[in-house]
Structures are given as structure tokens and as C-alpha cells.
Chains A and B, each alone.
Chain A
């Protein structure tokens, strides 16, 4: 059991990737409620990417490069939870291979501004996927929402890199719900999610799928400032 005292002056320095207090119980609770919470495997290369993104000395170029890498990995993982069908093909050498085929009917929705950074990674995996946008301003006011007309019949990948309190995400899901997207068709994809944020979101929407690389209260703030370079 790794030590992980995070609050204040205890002297122990937390380690990237260590499970914080209460998180284990939180995840168990979610499972019980039927929330599909997916955490990326804590492989050394993912821990390294998280380290680079958390490090304040990381320069802009490295931040973008490594954020793109990590976003690509969470998107790839997110796609793993979309439905597929069995599909047998013939190889060039004439043999049969029992493979699978991805189902159609997915789309992305990016939550402005930081969520837009993940559009690139999504497009790198799904070349012509349709992407809607939601912009939520101060005081949780929806300034802009442009969704697909048939979004209610699609599975929606909601993109937002760092989730703190989760209020903005809740607002965005509310917008999706207004467009009659069922809970189970919503896949929230994030780099970092705080335990509070996860708790808040899943309390309101227990049947969504959440994919993240890390659940931590030590998430890098100001992601979009670091990524886009503009405050």
C-alpha cells in the first residue's frame, strides 16, 4: 500500500499515479451504482506524460507535444468502449481472419476552450468524425452550443482535458440531455479528473462512461493556458 498523504504539511511528497485517500472507495461506489469508470493503466510512459504536464518548468512546446500524446492515449481508450461487431475478412494471402468492425454512429462534442485541444487527437483516430461544440462562460452560462441534428441517436464522446469541480461538465451534459442524448450514450473523456469532480458528475449522471488517465486532486490547472499559450 503506497503512502499518499496529500493535505498540506505532513512532509510526504505525493507521487504521480499514487492512489489518493478515498479514491478506492469512490471507484467501488461508482461500480455499484452502474457508472462505467475507466482509468488508464498506470504504465511508466503514462506516468511520465502526467509528470511532464504537471511540471511547471515544462516549456510550451513540450507541453503541447506531450499533452497531445496523452490525449491520444485517452481517446484510444475511450474508443475501446464503443460498440463493435464481429467481422471476418480475407487476408491478401487468402486466409480468413476473424476480426471485428467498429460500429458507426459516434460523434464528438468538445467543451470549449480546452476540450478543443482534444479534437486533433480524436480526428487522428477517426478521420471524419462529426464534432459538435459547447462553450460555457462565466456563471455556467451556455454561450454557444452547436450539436448534430441527430445527436440523440449517436454515442457522444464529450471532450474535456482537466476536470476540477465538475460543474462545467455537468452543465455540458445538461445541454446534451436537452438534446435527448441518453446517459449511457455519453462518454466523458478527460486527462485528469479530481475525485470531487467525478463524485459531483456521477451523482447527477450515474449511467455515463468516464475515461481518464488519472484521478487526482493534483491535476494541472490552467490547461488551456498552457496548451494554447493565451490566458
Chain B
């Protein structure tokens, strides 16, 4: 009974597999993707750093062939070799589904090679907040014309001037990030001086750090910042670092670098002209860059204090799980909730799926059948258009054709069971993926991984999950879609079993999202599992739970 109860508690949280995957394991797969939900800087921690030589004392260099390449930004390696993994994103919206607060934006400005990134990384490291985004101004270099590329190759193009940057795009992206929406950050290729066709997806966060040599140059951008930090490093040290960086990472020769330096940096001093004046806007000036631990500690303390003031609670231990659920349930069920008609087949199938004594074989078979009926029902909520067709023999008749492209978005893992059903009904559907797990300490859902098709706004998106208990996972999935500019009315939530509270929470937050379920439970226990419920669906379907029937014929 103890084991079973534990099982049930897991099941009750609305999705499935948080017991089987440790949070620490997540970066293993998010590392390979360009769109893991969490973005942190640094690709060449550890080994590659040592290959850089000669190194300016204590300085870190970045590989600069690509700005913010797809592979980086997933974990942070500190100098002591400690890895800070990105963790899932906790809710950034309240129980009404509205955004809670905009991220705390820190601007880091300073001359080229002054150690801005080091400062940014150290801030991230010491803040210890899992959800931080670092945005680099390098991504916003303008695409060069052929003539300019030629100049660039001859080291005659000035990269340190405001006109080298696309401030309009930068402003748009920062503004969206600040609103917590997703953005496509360009990836700048320093070899071709163009943007890589694969941009990088980023999200807003609790803290957003923006670093760049002209971070404070544009008035609009400056106004988006909550804190402005200027990194002031000695000019000679910066030149030394710059030579190392440009030689090793951008494949330039010393002569070229020196020529560029004297033309643009020293003689026509971009630094004095554009960068140094930025110092006036800074709230804080950090001398000696990333080495200045005292200054960084001060920044971190200040940021933490301001975050706490805004209601950010890093421990959130005392947070009530029911926070995201409405306790005052209305008498009638929400209008956007559709429960399948309880035909004998539906009821009989639900019985099989709920029964703890159903063998795995039968459980899989009958839940597959039930999911098929569920997805067919979802199709009734899609838009259709009238078409005129000709039948064999030439008779004409008016018919209907679906007027929508369908995207399935299963919430890992239990939701993935429905992929088969969706595919057997919509041949050409697109299937995304989203991983949301409940934090064992805070009981908050956390977003760990997301894959969406390009042009997601063109689709009707069906979020699929086996059970919607409190609705917290589905709410996060909806919120993510809205942040991707998917319209609320284009979102559907399909599940086998919904709890009344969860359905109300979702319906209240997103009245235009359609909720479609095969069954509904009206009660919930203290531990948030449904009565009578159906256990941990994912564990039963995939056979990863503690199993009653051990004598499966194919169970090797």
C-alpha cells in the first residue's frame, strides 16, 4: 500500500514521469537541442579553455565564429569546474494564467574584451536562480553587404560603432523577452558576416542579462533595464585579450588586428566616443571586470533584494500547491469543457482503464481505443469549410473539408500515448513535444524541454495529456503556446481524465481554450489525486510502474 500510494501521489500531479527522471539528468538531452527552454551562456568551459594560449592572465575567451551558436547556452561551467545545469522554468504566470512579473533586466556594458561575459556569468552563478537568460549583443550585428564584407576581411570595417548593430531588432527582441514571450534570436556568423538560417529560440526568465559594448547606447533599450552595470577594464589588458580572441577564434592575423585597433579603437576611438559615455548611465561600475568579486557580490545581493521585493521566492517551500487551483468552484461546468458522451463503449473503456486489475495488455489496448474516440471528438471542434465535389457518375454535391492544420503537443510522458491515435486520424499532423515536471520541493511545475514546429501560429494545437488533475502542467503548456503567439482559440486540451478543479482552473484562466476529455472526476484528495482516478497512467501504459502482473508473456 505504501508503494501504491507513492505511485498515486506521483500520478496525481497531472503528468507522469517525474519519479523516473531526475532533474539533473535533463540537460543530457536539452544539451543537444537549440531550443531547450533554458538558456545559459558558455560553450567552452573546461578543456577548450586550456587550448587557448597565450592567455591573458585569468581571462576567459569565447569562441567567436558564431554568436550564441545553437550548441551553447545550456549549461554553465564555473572556473572551479562546477557545472550549473539549467533547471526547468517555474510558473511565470498567476492562477489566472496572466504573466506575473516581467524579468529583472540587467544590462552589462563595457569595452570590447573587458570581461562583460565573465561578469554576466558570475552574476548568474552567484544568483543561483535556475531561470536566467543571457542575451549577447553580438547576435545583433548587421548583415554586411559584399563591399562591407570585403572591408571586414581587410580589417577596415568598424564593428565597434553603433551603425554596425541592428538596434531595432534588438529592441523588439528585448521587449518581447521582457514580456516573457518567446523570441528567435539571430545567430551571427563572423566568417560570412551574415545571420545563420537557424535562429535560436529564447524565453523570458526571472533574470535577463543583456551584455554588449553598446548596451546603453540606444535610449529605448536603456529604458528596459532595471540595473545597468559598466565593466571597466584597463585598455592594455583589453587589447591583449582582443588579440588572443581574434587570432584564435576569428582567424585574423596580428597585423590586421593592430590595424583595426589603431584605426577604429585608438585613433578614431570608438571606445571614447561611444562606449565610455555609457558609463554615465551605469548604476554600478565594475573595475577590473570579472576578477572583481566584491563588486559582483554587491550586484548579486542587490538583485536578490530587488527580486524578493517583487515577490520572487527562491525556495518557495511554503507555497501551497493549491495556489494554482481555484477553491471556489462554480456550480456549473465551464462552457469550454466538452466531456465525451458517456456511451456504453466509452464507459466500458473507461472502466478498463480505471480498473487496477486490468492486465497491462488490456490496459494498453483499451486505452488506445479510448484515445482514438477522444481524438475523433477533438476533430469536431476544428473549423471546416464547404466544398463542392463531384461524385462518380458526375453528380455534384456539397461537402465539408477540414480547414486547419493540426499540431499535436503531447506533454511528456503520458501525453505521448495519444500520438498514435492522432496520427491514425490526421495523417499529416505535426507533433511537437513538451516536458513539464513537478519540482519535488516546491511542487511547482517546471518547464524543461520544448519542441514546436516552425510557424506554430498556423496550426490548431492539441495539447495532449492523459490526466489533468490540478491543470498546472496543461496551464504551463498553454502559457508557453500563448508566448509563441498561438491564439487562445487555436488551443485544445485533450485528456482521458480531468479533475473538476483542474478544468475550472484552466477554463477560468483561458476561456477560449477548448478542453476535451473522456471522463471527469469531481473530487480530489488532500494530496491532489483524483477520486476515483486512474492511477499513474503513464507508468501503467509504459510499464514503468510497480507492476501487479509479472507474468507477461513477452516480458523479458
Contacts and interface: CB of A to CB of B under 8 A. Distances in A.
B345 A80 contact: yes
B536 interface: yes
Contacts of B372: 72
Contacts of B373: 76
B351 A54 contact: no
Interface string A75-112: 01101101010010111111111011110000000000
Interface stretch (A26-34, A40-48, A135-143, A148-156): A40-48
A15 B397 contact: yes
A163 B151 CA distance: 78
Contact of B348 (A55, A56, A95, A100): A100
Interface residues of A, number: 48
B397 A220 contact: no
B400 A90 contact: no
Interface stretch (B187-195, B388-396, B439-447): B388-396
A90 B351 contact: no
B4 A94 contact: yes
Interface in B372-395: 372-373, 376, 379-380, 382, 384, 387-393, 395
Interface in A1-59: 13-17, 43-45, 47-48, 50-52, 54-57
Contacts of B357: 89-90
Contacts of A72: 372
If over half of A's interface residues share one DSSP class (helix, strand or loop), that class is named, otherwise mixed; here it is mixed
A91 B355 contact: yes
A42 B214 CA distance: 63
Given A48-B399, A69-B376, A91-B354, 15 more contacts: A15-B398, A45-B376, A48-B401, A54-B391, A56-B392, A82-B344, A84-B344, A84-B348, A90-B355, A90-B356, A93-B529, A100-B347, A102-B348, A125-B369, A218-B397
B382 A44 contact: yes
Contact of A51 (B348, B401, B425, B530): B401
Contacts of B347: 99-100
Interface string B353-375: 01111000000010001001100
A82 B343 CA distance: 11
Given A55-B389, A93-B8, A218 B395 contact: yes
Given A92-B540, A93-B535, A221-B392, A127 B397 contact: no
B344 A13 contact: no
Interface in A196-221: 218, 220-221
Contact of A16 (B344, B345, B355, B397): B397
B533 A92 contact: yes
Contacts of B533: 91-93, 95
A125 B347 CA distance: 14
B399 A50 contact: yes
Contacts of A101: 348, 351
Interface string A188-200: 0000000000000
B163 interface: no
Given A13-B398, A44-B382, A222-B392, A127 B365 contact: yes
Nearest to B394: A56
Contacts of B7: 92
B333 interface: no
B534 interface: yes
A61 to B, nearest CB: 9
A55 B356 contact: no
Closest 9 CB pairs of A and B: A92-B535, A51-B399, A99-B351, A95-B532, A89-B355, A45-B379, A55-B389, A16-B399, A15-B398
Nearest to A92: B535
Contact of A54 (B345, B348, B389): B389
B288 to A, nearest CB: 60
A65 interface: yes
Contacts of A145: none
B371 to A, nearest CB: 12
A127 B362 CA distance: 10
Interface in B383-423: 384, 387-393, 395-402
A129 interface: no
Q: Which of B350, B382, B390, B391 has the most CB of A within 10 A?
A: B391
Contacts of B351: 87, 89, 97, 99-101
Contacts of B11: 92-93
A35 B31 CA distance: 64
A77 B346 CA distance: 10
A80 B344 CA distance: 5
Nearest to B389: A55
Contacts of B389: 51, 54-57
Contact of A47 (B12, B384, B425): B384
Given A47-B400, A218-B397, A91 B392 contact: no
Interface string A104-135: 00000000000000000000110100000000
B427 interface: yes
Contact of B356 (A50, A79, A91, A125): A91
A92 B8 contact: yes
A102 B344 CA distance: 8
B240 interface: no
